[in-house]
């Protein structure tokens, strides 16, 4: 299960856009340096795709600049590789390694986005878990707390 700390970070990184929005609107959402992935949602708020900076730049470079009238649907990736809040960090990390994605949206059971996780966040969580396990094992081996 994703820790509350990790989920809070994922929620802070969540940026969404409607599936009918223009590419230029999506490009403006990447103004925040932490935004690496934008989740595309339908009118009901369900995730239909994702777009990265590369997706936007590739598509806009084919347009005539700010007059680009293409919608986000032309650049988004679908279906989406996502994770759920009930998954463990090591499962999410395995999926990231397998797919090569450095950011994954987190979605609830209804298909609505609740956050975006970065590989760095997941690795920090895994490291903290391993350090905790190592500390407990060291305490066990040295007999601390077992008297």
Q: Which of 122, 119, 107 is nearest to 50 (CA)?
A: 107
Residue the block writes with tokens 């077992």: 146
Domains identified in the chain, total number: 1
Question: Across residues 70-93, what is the average pLDDT?
Answer: 92
Residue 54 CA to residue 135 CA, distance in Å, equals 42
In this structure, what CATH number is given to the domain that contains residue 113? 3.10.580.10
**pLDDT digit string (tens) for 1-29?**
788 888 999 999 999 999 999 988 998 99
Would you state the pLDDT for residue 67?
64
Query: Is 94 part of a structural domain of the chain?
Result: yes
**CB burial string 80-100: b at 16+ within 10 A, e below:** bebbebebebeebbebbeeee
Query: Is 147 part of a structural domain of the chain?
Result: no
pLDDT surpasses 70 at 53? yes
pTM attached to this predicted model? 0.82
Question: In the structure, what pLDDT confidence band is assigned to residue 64 with cuts at 50, 70 and 90?
Answer: low
pLDDT above 90: percentage of residues in the chain: 61
**Helix residue ranges, H only, 72-118:** 89-99
Tell which wins on pLDDT, 128 or 50.
50
Cα Rg of the chain (Å, integer): 19
Domain that holds residue 124: 4-142
């Amino acid at each position: 299960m994703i820790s509350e700390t990790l989920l809070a970070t994922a929620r802070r990184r969540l940026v969404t856009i409607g599936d009918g929005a223009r590419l230029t609107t999506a490009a403006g959402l990447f103004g925040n340096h932490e935004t690496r992935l934008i989740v595309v949602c339908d009118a009901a708020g369900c995730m239909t795709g994702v777009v990265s900076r590369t997706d936007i730049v590739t598509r806009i470079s084919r347009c005539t600049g700010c007059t680009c009238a293409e919608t986000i649907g032309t650049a988004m990736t679908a279906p989406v590789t996502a994770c759920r809040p009930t998954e463990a960090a090591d499962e999410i990390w395995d999926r990231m390694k397998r797919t090569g994605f450095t950011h994954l949206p987190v979605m609830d059971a209804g298909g609505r986005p609740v956050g975006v996780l970065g590989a760095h966040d997941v690795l920090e969580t895994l490291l903290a878990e391993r350090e905790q396990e190592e500390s407990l094992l060291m305490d066990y081996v040295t007999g601390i707390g077992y008297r």
